[in-house]
Structure 1
Amino acid sequence: MGADHTPKIAGTVWGLLVLNTLGSAGAKTIVPLPRSLIQLVTMGALIAAFTLALALNVRLRIRPSAFLFLLTLLLVSSVISSAHLESGFGALFRCVRLTLFVGTLWLLSRWWDGGLTFVRHHIRMYFAVLGSVAAGLVVSPGAAMPDLYGGRLVGALWPLTPPQIGQYAAVITGLTVLLVLGRRTDRTSAAVVIVPSIVLLALTHTRTATLGLLIGLALAIGSLFLTSAAARRFFTWAVLCSAVAAAALGSVLEAWFLRGQSQENFSNLTGRAKVWDALLAAPRSTSEQLFGVGLGDKSFGGLPIDNSWLAVYQEQGLTGVALVAAIIIVLGGVALLRPPSLSRACAIFLISYCAIASYTEAGLGDASPYLLHLTVAAALLATPAEATTPATPEVPRRHIPHWARRSEVT
C-alpha cells in the first residue's frame, strides 16, 4: 500500500506519541503546571494513541520488522530487570508505558512502506511543539530565557529544557532540508519551518543538537551526492558558507559554543563525566550487570546520567546495551544496503543524529523522542508492500487449453 493509503488518523496517533514523550520535568512555566497534571496528560495521550491505533488496525495486521522485534526484546529485558523492584514500583509503571508505546508502534507498522508519510507527521508535530516554545518566548521572554538555565531558551508554556528544544529544532530542520533537496516540498514552505527552527536552536545553545544536525545532514546529503545535482549544489554552497562564516565569525561561534564555560568545565562535559565515572565505579551484582536495576528516571545519585548507553547499562544492564546497539547497527546496515533515495537519506540523517546525541543525551532505552526518530527511520527503510507480493507467474500460451484462449480476431 502506498503512502497515500495511510489513514489520516495515523497522524493523530503519531501526535499523541509525540505528546507522550515530551516529559514532565523542565523549566518553570508562565502558568504553573503540577507535575501530576502533566503526567496525567502525557499518559492519557499514550493510552489514547494505543486505543486509536487498535481501532485503526482491528484485525492486528502488522509488518515484520527487525527494529520492532529488537525493541520488543528490550521491553522484555526491562520487565525482567524491573520485576526485582530495586527502582520501586515506578519501574513497573514505566514498563507498562513502554509496553503501550511499543504496542502502538507494532499497530502502526501496517502502514510502513518506505514513503515519506511519517516524516511529514514528524515535522508537523514537532513544529507545533516549537510553535508553543516561540509563543512562550513572545509572551514572556524572561520566563523563556531564565537565568537558571544561563539565559538559554526553555519552554515557558510547557516545561521543556534547552536540549529538548534543540533536538526538535535540529531534527525537523534536517528533514525539511532533505525534502527540499528531493523536491518533495517547495522552498517557501520549507523556509517557514527551517528559519524559525534554526533561530530557536541558536537560542538554546545546544551543542549536541547542532553537531547532530551538521554531521547528520553531511552524511545524508553525501548518500545523495552521486544521484542528485541539487544535493551536490547544496553541499558545495554549504561548505563555502561554512568556510566564510568560520573566517568572519570565528570568535562569535567559539563564544556560542563554549556558552561562557571554563575550559575545565567544558572538558568534563559540564559535569557529566563525574556522574559517568561514579556510575561505572559503583559495585554491581551479576544480575545487575546483566539486566540492570529496572527502568528509572535516567539519573544516578540524584544527578542526570545524560548518556543513553550508560543510562541503559544502569537500568537494563549489558543485555539492554547489546539490544540498543543491535537496533542502531541493524538500521544503519539496512540503510547502507538500500539504493540511493530520499527515503534512505532521511533515514541516514535520523540514525546518525540519534547515534551522535546518545553520547550526551539519554533516551534510547525507553519511550522517548529518540525512539520515535528511529521508528521513522525504520518506516523509511521498509520495503513497499507491493514489492513484497510475489508476481503471478505467466503461464506459457501452449499450456492454455484452446477453448480458454481469447480470440485474436478483433
Structure 2
Amino acid sequence: MGGHPRSGAPPGGPDDTAGTRPAVEPRASSTPGVEPRPSGTPKSVGIVWALLILNTLGSSGAKTILPLPRSLIQMVTMGSLGVAFALALALNLRLRIRASAFLFLLTLLLVPSVISSLQLESGFGALFRCTRLALFVGTLWLLTRWWDGGLTFVRYHIRIYFTVLGSVVVGLVVSPGAAMPELYGGRLVGALWPLTPPQIGQYTAVIIGLTVLLVLGRRTDRAGAAMVIVPSIVLLALSHTRTATLGLLIGLVLAIGSLVLTSAAARRFFTWAVLCAAVAAVGFASALRAWFLRGQSQENFTSLTGRANVWDALLAAPRTTTEKLFGTGLSDKSFGGLPIDNSWLAAYHEQGLMGVTLVSGVIVVLGGVALLRPPSVPRACAIFLISYVAISSYTEAGLGDASAYLLHLALAASLLAAPASAGPLPTAEVPRRRIPRWSRERR
C-alpha cells in the first residue's frame, strides 16, 4: 500500500507489533493500499498468483453487457492455469520446494478424486477437473519456494482482487441495470465478467479484512488503505451477501483478538469496533434486520434460501460402499440439477468420507499451526483467512476442488510458513602477517 509503511510511532513504541517488522525498508509503491513487493521475490511470481486467481473466477454467472460464450470463458480460465503452471515451473526449474502439510493433504485429496472420477458417473468432465486440481496443487508446490511467512502474497491477493472488483465497478457505471438485475433480486453482479453476488461478496470481504490487518500492523498508510476499504464496503453492501459479511466480522474479531496483547492499535480498534457495533445494533436494528433478511419470508430464510432441501435430498440418496468412501467424482458441485452450496456435503458427494476427512485435516492443521505461532500481522492474516473460509464453507462449495477458497487457504499456509533459515555469515579471513626469513633466522 502506498506511502511509507512504517510511518507513525517509533520502533519499539506502544503500537509496535512483536515480530512483524520487515528487515529491509521497502520501496515506495504506486498501488493504493498495498505495500511494495520485497526484493526477494521475482515479479513473475505475482503473475503466477494472478493467473491462479483468474482460473478460480469461474465461467458461469450473470449475463454480461457483451455476451461472452461460456466456451471462451472456460478457455481463458483453464488456459490461465496451464500458463501459471508452466511459468511457475520456469521460475523453479530446480524444483526447490518447501515442506507443507497443507499441500500434502491436498495432494492426498487427489487420490479419492481420481478413484471416484474413473467410474465416470459424472462423465469425462470429472477427469478433466482432476487434471485441473492436479495442476492447481502442482503450481502451489512450485510456489512454496517463496513462502517465507512474509506478506508478499497478501499484497498480491489484495492487488489482484481489487483489480477484479474494479471491473465490477466499471460494469456498474456503464450499465447499472445489467450490474444489478432483477434475476438476482437487485444484487450486484459482474456485468463485464460473469461474477455472482456471492463471489463479489467474498472478494470484497477478503481484501477488506486483510487491509484492515495491514493498517493495524502499520504495514500501510491509512489513506492508501481507505482507497481499498471504502469502495469495497460499498460493493459488499450492494452484493447483499450475508455469509461474506458474517465471515468478515467474525474473522476480524478472531484475527484482531490475536493481536490485542501486543498491539495498542489493535486494542484501540477493537474497543471502537465494539462501541460502534453496539450503537448500530441499537439505533439501526430494523434496517440491519431488513438488509439481512433480503425481503425473504421466514420459511425461506430458515431453509437458507432452499439450500437445506438440497442437502436433505443429498444425504438421503442411496450410495454404495465405494461411493460412501470415495464419492461419485468431481462435478459442477450440484445435486439433482441444483447447487449444493456446502463444501462439506460437496466433498462427501464427490470424494466421499475420505475427502471430508482430508478437507477437515486441512482446516485443523492450518488452525493448529496458527495457534502455535507467536502474535504477528502474518499470523493474524492467516487466522482471518482460515476463519473466513471455515464460516463460508457452510453455505459455499469449493474446499474439495480448485477454487478461490483453496487459494485463500494457500495464502494462509504461506503466512504460516517458517522463514527460510539463513546460513552462517562468512567470516572474513584475516591475512597473517608475513615475517621475513632473516628475521626468523635471527630469532
TM-score, normalised via structure 2 length: 0.87
1:348 aligns with 2:383: yes
Amino acid at match of 2:345: L
Aligned to 1:65: 100
Match of 2:252 among 204, 214, 217: 217
Match of 2:223 in 1: 188
Q: Distance in 1 between matches of 2:160 and 2:118?
A: 34
Q: Is 1:308 the equivalent of 2:328?
A: no
Question: Match for 1:295: what amino acid?
Answer: L
Cross-structure match for 2:441: none
Alpha-carbon deviation of 1:382?
0.2
**Aligned pairs (5 A) from 1:151-190:** 151-190=186-225
Amino acid at match of 1:305: I
1:312-339 Cα shifts (integer Å, max 9, x gaps): 0000000000000000000000000000
Q: Give how far 1:77 is off.
A: 1.9
- Amino acid across the alignment from 1:213: L
Matched, 1:87 2:87: no
Partner of residue 339, structure 1: 374
The amino acid that maps onto 1:288 is: E
2:177 paired residue number = 142
Hey, what does 2:12 align to over in structure 1?
none
Structure 1 segment 6-45 matched on structure 2, within 5 A: 6-45=41-80
Counterpart position of 1:74: 109
Distance 1:7 1:148 in 2: 44
Larger helix share, 1 or 2: 1
The answer on 1:208 being equivalent to 2:239 is no
Counterpart position of 1:398: none
Please give the secondary structure, in 1, of the residue aligned with 2:142.
helix
Shift of 1:406: 6.7
The aligned counterpart of 1:246 is 281
Structure 1 residue 197 corresponds to structure 2 residue 232: yes
Question: Match for 1:46 among 78, 81, 88?
Answer: 81
Q: Which amino acid aligns with 2:225?
A: A
Q: Secondary structure at the match of 1:209?
A: helix
Partner of 2:152: 117
Task: Tell me the amino acid that sits aligned with residue 178 of structure 1.
Answer: L
Question: 1:4 offset after TM fit, Å?
Answer: 3.1
The letter of the residue matching 2:234 is V
For the 8 Å contact 2:204–2:235, the answer to whether it is kept is: yes
After superposition, the C-alpha distances for 1:174-214 in whole angstroms (9 at most, x for unaligned) are 00000000000101110011001000000011000000000
Distance in 2, Cα, partners of 1:25 & 1:156: 12
Show CA shifts across 1:25-75 (max 9, x none): 100000000000000000111011011101100111000110010010012
In the alignment, the residues of structure 1 paired with residue 331 and residue 87 of structure 2 have an alpha-carbon distance, to the nearest angstrom, of: 28
Aligned-partner residue type, residue 240 of structure 2: H
Pick closer, same or farther for the CA change 1:255–1:13 going to 2, 3 Å.
same
Offset at residue 244 of structure 1 (A): 1.0
Find 1:102's aligned residue among 131, 137, 142. Answer: 137
Distance across 2 between alignment mates of 1:223 and 1:406: 54
Aligned to 2:356: 321
Q: Which residue pairs with 2:271 in the alignment?
A: 236
Q: Amino acid of the residue matched to residue 13 of structure 1?
A: V
Q: What is the one-letter code of the residue matched to 1:34?
A: P
Q: Which residue of 2 aligns with 1:386?
A: 421
Could you tell me whether the CA contact under 8 Å between 2:112 and 2:327 is conserved in 1?
A: no
CA distance in 2, matches of 1:9, 1:336: 32
Would the aligned equivalents of 2:162 and 2:228 in 1 still touch at CA under 8 Å? yes
Q: Which residue of 1 aligns with 2:20?
A: none
2-structure distance, mates of 1:246, 1:206:
19
Q: Which residue is 2:14 aligned to?
A: none
1:283 pairs, out of 306, 315, 318, with 318
Q: What SS does structure 1 have at the residue aligned with 2:39? A: helix
Aligned residue number for residue 271 of structure 1: 306
CA distance in structure 2 between the aligned counterparts of 1:137 and 1:290, rounded to whole angstroms: 46
Residues 370 and 383, structure 2, Cα contact 8 Å, conserved in 1? yes
Residue 262 (structure 2) aligns with: 227
> In the alignment, is the contact (CA less than 8 A) between 2:310 and 2:338 conserved in 1?
yes
Give the number of aligned pairs.
Answer: 397
Partner Cα separation in structure 2 for residue 26 and residue 176 of structure 1: 27
Alignment equivalent of 1:330, drawn from 354, 361, 365: 365
Overall identity of the aligned pairs, in %: 80
Cα deviations across residues 236-275 of structure 1 (Å, max 9, x unaligned)?
0101111111111111110000000011100010000000
In the alignment, which residue of structure 1 is the partner of 2:409?
Answer: 374
Tell me the secondary structure at the aligned position of residue 4 of structure 1. Answer: coil
Query: In 2, Cα distance between the equivalents of 1:4 and 1:311?
Result: 41
1:200-234 deviations in Å (ceiling 9; x for gaps)? 00001100000000000000000001000000000
Question: Which residue matches 1:399?
Answer: none
8 Å contact from structure 2 (residues 248, 388) kept in 1: yes
- The one-letter amino acid paired with 1:217 is L
Cα deviation, residue 76, structure 1: 2.1
Task: Select the residue among 255, 262, 283 that pairs with 2:297.
Answer: 262
DSSP-derived class of the 1:386 partner:
coil
Offset at residue 405 of structure 1 (A): 10
Q: TM-score, normalised by structure 1?
A: 0.94
Take 1:205 and 1:174, find their aligned partners in 2: how far apart are those partners?
17
CA distance in 2, matches of 1:80, 1:107: 25
